Structure 1
Amino acid sequence: MASPILSQRTYRLSHIPSESSTSEIRQIFPSSVRDTIQYVSLARRIASTTPDDQVATVTFKAEPSFFSTLPYKFGGQLSAFICDLDVRFFCVWVDAHFHGLTTFNDLPDEDDGVDIIALTGLGGKAFASWQCYDGSMWLRDHIPWDVPKSRISIYGYPSDVGNSDSVATLSEMTETFVLDLLNYRRLHFPQNVSVRTFTIHLKTHKAWCRLGESGSALHAALHRSIHGLVFFGTPHNGMKVDNLLPGLSGQTSENLIRDIEPGSTYIKSLKERFSKATMGPNILSFLELRATPQSVLQPDGSILRIGKSAMNAPESTACLYWANEIRVPINENHSMIAKLAKRDGSAYCRVVSSIRQLLLDCRRDYSNQPLHDTRDIHKSYAIDTDAFDPSTRLNYRNPSIQSSHMSGENEDGLALLAYPPGFALSKPPANRRVRVLVHGIWNLFHFGHVRSLRFAKEAFLDVYLIVGVTADRPLRSFNCHTAMSSAERAEVVRACKYVDEVIDGCPPVLDPEAITKLGIDYFGYREGSFSVSLFDPYKLLSIQGKGFIIPRTLSISSTEIARKILRDGDLSIQ
């Protein structure tokens, strides 16, 4: 929870002009302290709407005397602390709390980069919780070079639990974090989705659940963009805080601490929600192997680790034991597990190696694959699609179904839909029904499938929805086994009221000739529905402006249903 007290030696400088360099940042400070500067970082402020706005961090060997009066909660204008400041830096703001997002380095190519955003738990310090005693901070001073194509940021928030007058709850802290991430994504990734890796703590379990459970398209897009979760001694089952509660009795932060106790209603609810919302991302859990001096609340409201040593987050609470989790032990206590020094014998090399592997797994599973010619895709599947005649497979029609409403259309009658990166969406045809194709396996049909079909049905004012059901033989050739045959899956889809036509025994990819014969106007991309392909098999439709994205229902999947049946088989039979 609380970090050991370090003399404050690192400061954040915001609103730095874009043409500035790290050497110029050093020259800002008086010559008497210039030689005491150990580390400097400089990067674009990713949370800023101003393109020529940078942020720097500066670490000194000792606290400069002119910063001794710097207000911790607010910071101040740099010109108030340094005389004879260059006029270019008059608007620079300095602080030591690091609240919000602070970026340490820039990406040479944002389309091929990875964001790593780190934040601490309650009582931690946004910067100091990751800082070694020699002044280095591994996320800033080493990771950008040891993990290529990564942009490193930290996120700070008012996390003090002692001597705090804040009435903020974990839910409100979570909402602030989510809003800041949405704002960052809006500013930098209006269309394309890049791989993200988050190092997170207990506070953001709720943020992850919030994104996964929300019906908002913005939340869903952000949730999909997070492909890796890294935990450093995170107490998933709660943490004992008996030594803190007596001193916090009656204070505004008492309920905040009670929420993270083992067995609390908050922890129980969060565990269940987190397991449902965390099915896709790869997880990396670092667990502590040493006992930690316990935090004790002091009369002045500060928290010091001077109590009896105990395990804060033992293996039983620091590990999830899920199939998508990699567990790595670190021979440190809870306070020091994330303060890594890059030297022989330290855990740094092990941590970096694990993070590199996590990023490789993320790229392999989720990154955008190169687009290929549609004909080449058919060849790679080795399926005889030329023998497929769509006219023989259109075996269901329900002309009584009419889509009488549409949410979110613009003045042209075009839905405000998300579409594949790099492509625009064409206008729908006038004076006739819009023919939309949705393609998938539809195994163990569930309410998430129903939502997908409803979304496609209501995407335009008057939709004629055609649903392709992948045939059994090509799925078996790719070692993809289903609980039901193609005919059985088609029969279930056929019963859905949003469906007008079903293509039974459909190949994994329809060739352009079949698409033309069907008269398809748009194709709905069900994310994750192509178990046999990681790339876009309908590139042609995207190029023509005919592709749009159907958001997944992240709280359910056919795989999860099958897993529950296997795990709770006896209960299911009853």
Structure 2
Amino acid sequence: MKGVPTERSEYTAAVGDIVHRFLGDNASVVGSTSTAGTYEYEVKLPEEEDELSQEELQKLQVLCRLRCNQIQQSLPPPPQTPPSAPPSTNPPSYKSPSTILPSPTSTTTVSPPAPSTAAPKTRPDTIRIKNIPIYYTKDLVKLVIQDAFKSIPLIHSLVPYSKDYLCATATFPEVDDFEYPTKRLSVIRQAHQQKPGKADFQYDVDFFNFTPLWDAAFGDKEVIVDIVAVVGLGTHAFGTFRSPSAGSHEMWLRDFLPKDIPKTRILLYGYPSTVDGGQSIEKVEDIANLQTRERPIIFIGQSLGGLIVQEALLKAQNSPDANEVEIFNSWHGLVGFGIPIGGLRNPSLIEAVKDQPNKVLIRQLCLDELGTPSDYLKQLKVNFERCCEGKKRVAYAPEILYFWERHYSQPRTRNGKVGEKVRMVEDTETPGARNLPLNANHSEMVKYRSRSDLLYEDVWLNINGMVENIVEIKQLLAAQTSPSNKAQKGKGKPGGKGPRGGPKRKGTFISGDEMDDMLY
């Protein structure tokens, strides 16, 4: 066909075969256009056929893309650049044939980033990908990311972010440079700015705001509880919970916990660490957008993240906003890791932020020279205890579990030097809370090497105990309030409406059987 190189005519044959299977024998590929190495096919529909809907077109595009990519991987490389042409300094470019609808990513080729002079990392950077249409399969997401990063990615998660979009996390195991994804991001963003009207995935490595890591409802399974993890100050949301093993990409909230407590939705919350105190502490507006639909919530708070959760719940308890009140009503438990309830012992941190805008916040969180907590922390402790008592009176007592470090930490000073060993957070007794020790320092408390890690086993078994208690509470309430077979909504009570179905791939969803039938 015109515009298709002879050695690439296999694309046309493959597209024609899929069109026949999808639309019938009377449909055909009647024309193609090739521009700058991409291919566009025109499909002639049978006269008796109605025009395809947008969803049907998108489904057909996905099938053609995947099949053409399979062929592209098996074909010999295209002819080399003629000797008369100047040699290219650009990296090898991976190109996917564009069929029926335009590709969601830019294929602009630019020079590679300058080499970094920073010390090499021991673990690969993980990227977050948002703005993925809900109907995209994992294989198609992989192709799009590969096209953008010029390296085959490993997709670790693909979870609904909203009713229309998915969110993914990925690494690049074939690249030796662990910082490659971060370096490549600037290239991708530059290419996107050159074509501002083009639809595109959104890539980042910051993990600010919410990142869904697991959702059992996406596989049509029951979801009993939402688990929301909030990190501390000056930490990376994703990196905080990653395995410390060199070269590892595993992160227990994403890779371990869904296997051990599958009937969950797990979200990660991150925020910039350089904002002032008011912006850092009061995150209830963000948390209120969780869309739990009355599903119970277990919060995980790491260091300052636990204080953020406590502040959010205090505000939600008496908020005029119905969404915020719903968060308080749905709250079932808090699992804290080194929450500085009685103050943070870290003189190096106070010195490091003395000229930064969040210095007031840090002084409120740290112990003073005499080892005394600030008035802010004292009042927060009292207020949160009252908050728990208030919830107990109107519903049931929330479960509070605090893990405390047993090993000393060595925080770094402002100029990077290692400071003296300190136990950054001491145990703080709280009425109604369970206190458990972990044989780790302040940072290692939430970093686990594998599912068989003894620290992780202690943690997940206790979280699972909370989940089992939620099930028992729901069964008890059902027995008390529903003697007949009528379903009870139970607004404001644990369990609520029960598990929601969650966003499902409709219309353009390609099942495994359907993909096998179309592609093989």
Q: Where on the TM-score scale, by shorter chain, does this alignment land: which range?
A: 0.5 to 0.7
Q: For the residues of structure 1 that align with 2:476 and 2:122, how far apart are their CA atoms? A: 43
What is the CA deviation profile of residues 187-236 of structure 1, one whole-angstrom value per residue up to 9, with x for unaligned ones?
x52xxx11111102222221122122435544332201010100111121
> Quick check: 2:338–2:402 contact (8 Å CA) kept in 1?
yes
Q: Does 1:269 align with 2:379?
A: yes
Structure 1 counterpart of 2:60:
none
Q: Does 1:242 align with 2:347?
A: yes
Structure 2 counterpart of 1:21:
137
Correspondent of 2:165 among 53, 56, 76: 53
Change in CA separation of 1:345 and 1:218 when aligned onto 2, cut-off 3 Å: closer
Q: Matches of residues 441-520 of structure 1 in structure 2 within 5 Å?
A: none
Q: Does 1:63 align with 2:178?
A: yes
- Counterpart code for 1:252: P
Correspondent of 1:140 among 239, 254, 264: 254
Q: Does 1:208 align with 2:313?
A: yes
Partner of 1:309: helix, strand, or coil?
Answer: coil
Structure 2 counterpart of 1:308:
420
Q: For the residues of structure 2 that align with 1:372 and 1:312, how far apart are their CA atoms? A: 46
Partner of 1:349: helix, strand, or coil?
Answer: helix
> Quick check: 2:326–2:492 contact (8 Å CA) kept in 1?
no
Structure 2 counterpart of 1:172:
279
Moved more, 123-132 or 14-23: 14-23
Structure 2 counterpart of 1:42:
158
Q: Which consecutive residues of structure 1, in runs of 5 or more, have no partner in the other structure?
A: 161-165, 299-303, 378-419, 424-524, 529-533, 537-574
Structure 1 counterpart of 2:29:
none
- Counterpart code for 1:328: L
Alignment identity in percent? 25
- Larger RCO, structures 1/2 (Cα 8 Å, 6+ apart): 2
CA shift at 1:261, angstroms?
A: 1.9
Q: For the residues of structure 2 that align with 1:178 and 1:535, how far apart are their CA atoms? A: 21
Structure 1 counterpart of 2:209:
100
CA shift at 1:122, angstroms?
A: 0.8
Structure 2 counterpart of 1:335:
443
Q: For the residues of structure 1 that align with 2:496 and 2:156, how far apart are their CA atoms? A: 41
Correspondent of 2:407 among 276, 290, 312: 290
> Quick check: 1:227–1:366 contact (8 Å CA) kept in 2?
no
CA shift at 1:130, angstroms?
A: 0.3
What is the CA deviation profile of residues 439-473 of structure 1, one whole-angstrom value per residue up to 9, with x for unaligned ones?
xxxxxxxxxxxxxxxxxxxxxxxxxxxxxxxxxxx
What is the CA deviation profile of residues 515-540 of structure 1, one whole-angstrom value per residue up to 9, with x for unaligned ones?
xxxxxxxxxx9979xxxxx999xxxx
Correspondent of 2:337 among 205, 213, 232: 232
- Counterpart code for 1:121: G
Q: For the residues of structure 2 that align with 1:104 and 1:82, how far apart are their CA atoms? A: 31
Q: For the residues of structure 2 that align with 1:92 and 1:374, how far apart are their CA atoms? A: 47
Change in CA separation of 1:282 and 1:68 when aligned onto 2, cut-off 3 Å: same
> Quick check: 2:160–2:166 contact (8 Å CA) kept in 1?
yes
What is the CA deviation profile of residues 360-403 of structure 1, one whole-angstrom value per residue up to 9, with x for unaligned ones?
123323578446897779xxxxxxxxxxxxxxxxxxxxxxxxxx
Change in CA separation of 1:243 and 1:374 when aligned onto 2, cut-off 3 Å: closer
Structure 2 counterpart of 1:184:
290
Structure 1 counterpart of 2:398:
281
Normalised to the residue count of structure 1, the TM-score between the two structures is 0.55
> Quick check: 2:125–2:182 contact (8 Å CA) kept in 1?
no
Change in CA separation of 1:11 and 1:66 when aligned onto 2, cut-off 3 Å: closer
Change in CA separation of 1:97 and 1:243 when aligned onto 2, cut-off 3 Å: same
Partner of 1:295: helix, strand, or coil?
Answer: coil
> Quick check: 1:114–1:197 contact (8 Å CA) kept in 2?
yes
Change in CA separation of 1:278 and 1:154 when aligned onto 2, cut-off 3 Å: same
Q: For the residues of structure 1 that align with 2:146 and 2:492, how far apart are their CA atoms? A: 59
Change in CA separation of 1:267 and 1:76 when aligned onto 2, cut-off 3 Å: farther
Partner of 2:360: helix, strand, or coil?
Answer: helix
Q: Matches of residues 403-418 of structure 1 in structure 2 within 5 Å?
A: none
Change in CA separation of 1:231 and 1:305 when aligned onto 2, cut-off 3 Å: farther
Q: For the residues of structure 1 that align with 2:342 and 2:290, how far apart are their CA atoms? A: 31
Structure 1 counterpart of 2:364:
259
Q: For the residues of structure 2 that align with 1:350 and 1:155, how far apart are their CA atoms? A: 23
CA shift at 1:269, angstroms?
A: 1.2
Q: Which consecutive residues of structure 2, in runs of 5 or more, have no partner in the other structure?
A: 1-120, 368-372, 390-396, 498-520
> Quick check: 2:346–2:422 contact (8 Å CA) kept in 1?
no
Structure 2 counterpart of 1:568:
none
Q: For the residues of structure 1 that align with 2:316 and 2:413, how far apart are their CA atoms? A: 35
> Quick check: 2:127–2:181 contact (8 Å CA) kept in 1?
no
Q: For the residues of structure 1 that align with 2:224 and 2:331, how far apart are their CA atoms? A: 13
CA shift at 1:250, angstroms?
A: 3.6
Q: For the residues of structure 1 that align with 2:492 and 2:237, how far apart are their CA atoms? A: 38
Partner of 2:402: helix, strand, or coil?
Answer: strand
> Quick check: 1:33–1:64 contact (8 Å CA) kept in 2?
no
> Quick check: 1:198–1:230 contact (8 Å CA) kept in 2?
yes
Q: For the residues of structure 2 that align with 1:58 and 1:157, how far apart are their CA atoms? A: 20
Please provide the CA RMSD for this pair. 3.7
> Quick check: 2:316–2:324 contact (8 Å CA) kept in 1?
yes
Change in CA separation of 1:40 and 1:344 when aligned onto 2, cut-off 3 Å: closer
Q: For the residues of structure 1 that align with 2:199 and 2:159, how far apart are their CA atoms? A: 19
Change in CA separation of 1:365 and 1:310 when aligned onto 2, cut-off 3 Å: same
Structure 2 counterpart of 1:364:
472
> Quick check: 1:241–1:257 contact (8 Å CA) kept in 2?
no
> Quick check: 2:160–2:215 contact (8 Å CA) kept in 1?
yes
Q: For the residues of structure 2 that align with 1:8 and 1:269, how far apart are their CA atoms? A: 41
Change in CA separation of 1:150 and 1:535 when aligned onto 2, cut-off 3 Å: closer
- Counterpart code for 1:56: A
Q: Matches of residues 75-154 of structure 1 in structure 2 within 5 Å?
A: 77=189, 80=192, 90-108=199-217, 112-133=223-244, 134-154=248-268
> Quick check: 2:243–2:251 contact (8 Å CA) kept in 1?
yes
> Quick check: 1:296–1:306 contact (8 Å CA) kept in 2?
yes
- Counterpart code for 2:240: S
> Quick check: 2:227–2:265 contact (8 Å CA) kept in 1?
yes
Change in CA separation of 1:344 and 1:225 when aligned onto 2, cut-off 3 Å: closer
Change in CA separation of 1:338 and 1:259 when aligned onto 2, cut-off 3 Å: same
Q: For the residues of structure 2 that align with 1:373 and 1:132, how far apart are their CA atoms? A: 45
CA shift at 1:125, angstroms?
A: 1.0
Q: For the residues of structure 1 that align with 2:253 and 2:469, how far apart are their CA atoms? A: 20
What is the CA deviation profile of residues 239-271 of structure 1, one whole-angstrom value per residue up to 9, with x for unaligned ones?
023223234334312112111023212111111
